[in-house]
Amino acid sequence: MFNKIGIFGKYSGIQSWDLIDKLILYFQKKQKKVILDQRSCADFPIERYGIERLERDALMKEIDFAVVVGGDGTFLDVARCIVDYNIPILGVNLGRLGFLADVSPDTMMVTLDEVLADDYTCEERTLLHVLIKKDGETLFDEVAFNDVVLHKNDSPRMIEFETFVDNRFLNSQRSDGLIIATPTGSTAYSLSAGGPIVDPGLNAMTLVSINPHTMSNRPVVVSGDSEILIRPHDNCSGTASIICDGQVTFQIEAKHETYVTRHPNFIKMVHPKNHDHYELLRAKLNWGQKL
């Protein structure tokens, strides 16, 4: 049973306020403690509700259930922060049904009734851990829910790099970059680049090249227990970046080594009891339409 609820909003602000208002009143009626996230709800008028607003690190230590109001981008941001706290998370989508924030405002109250009655489904999703090192020194340490992307900066030139899997040389390529995706991220940027759709319950990572120079280059699926190493060639300095979930960026140089592994902890995603991932795929990708 969840008793301490953390609510996270959309950074652009006011369009999520109406739903946050409904959530606060709903949980207060259910005698639950409600705390807002300072980072995403800084301007929300909390005075009328008599609730707290905490910085994210402090908030994570106080709650046992997280509700994210926004889109998949908002969900990704919160997921990276919450993964080490073992807190279940549910996403309410402000717009169209999302892959991550998969509860619509119209069904939000019914879903929450089911959640508080312990009548829901919960699944574990994997994240990626990325380290960037130079001469043995760690320069960048982040997590990603969807993907870790090596991408060229604003330049017409391709970048050159080598990829290793568990210390075994995979390939050397010239391309616009490389997407290393979780099963969750297989329906994000990876899908647009021609990568496979991977069942979110699988322990796997996909490696998908972005506009490779050779036609023989194909997506590769490896074990989720693998370690991926990316080494840029000498001419890569200042021309490429590592990007986590499209939100956190680090510019790499020739002597930087990027290591990507599965994060040791999981995201606990809460869904309505009738949640069906394949039904969501059909809805988002327009599959199953009559010909």
User: Which domain CATH number covers 243?
Assistant: 2.60.200.30
What SS3 state is found at 273?
coil
The answer to whether 72 and 187 are in contact (CB under 8 A) is no
User: Does 157 appear as a known binding residue?
Assistant: yes
Task: Give the tokens for residue 220.
Answer: 């590769």
Q: For residue 70, is it within any domain?
A: yes
Identify whether residues 57 and 178 lie together within a single domain.
no
Query: Are 17 and 133 part of one and the same domain?
Result: no
* pLDDT for 291: 60
Alpha helices in the chain (DSSP H): 17-29, 56-60, 72-82, 108-116, 189-192, 277-285
Lowest mean pLDDT, pick from 22-31, 104-113, 126-135, 148-157:
148-157
In a domain, 134, yes or no: yes
The reply to whether 133 and 240 lie within a common domain is: yes
Assess whether 198 and 230 both reside in one domain: yes
166 is an annotated ligand-binding site residue: no
**What is the extent of the structural domain holding 171?**
127-264
Is there a binding annotation on residue 71? no
pLDDT of residue 154: 80
Q: Annotation-wise, does 226 bind a ligand?
A: no
Domain count, the chain: 2
Q: In this structure, what token pair is assigned to residue 102?
A: 């998969």
State the angle between helix axes of 108-116 and 17-29 in degrees (0 to 180), rounded to the nearest 10: 30
d(CA 150, CA 161): 10
pLDDT band at 12 (very low <50, low <70, confident <90, very high): low
Structural domain contains residue 225: yes
Tell me if residue 266 falls in helix, strand or coil. strand
187 is in an annotated binding site: yes
The verdict on 110 and 141 lying in the same domain is no
- The verdict on whether residue 125 carries a ligand-binding annotation is no
Among candidate residues 272, 54, 241, 61, the one with its CA nearest the CA of residue 140: 241
**How far is it, in rounded angstroms, from Cα 259 to Cα 229?**
5
Positions marked active-site: 72
Q: Looking at the domain assignment, is residue 290 inside a domain?
A: no
Question: CA-to-CA distance for 87 and 32, rounded, in angstroms?
Answer: 16
CATH classification at residue 48: 3.40.50.10330
**How much is the pLDDT for 96?**
67
Is residue 291 in some structural domain? no
pLDDT exceeds cutoff 90 at 156:
no
pLDDT in tens, 32-78: 999 999 999 998 999 999 999 999 999 999 999 999 999 999 999 99
Q: What does the pLDDT read at residue 287?
A: 87
Both 77 and 135 in a single domain? no
Are 252 and 241 in contact by the 8 Å Cβ rule? The answer is yes
Judge if 32 and 159 occupy the same domain: no
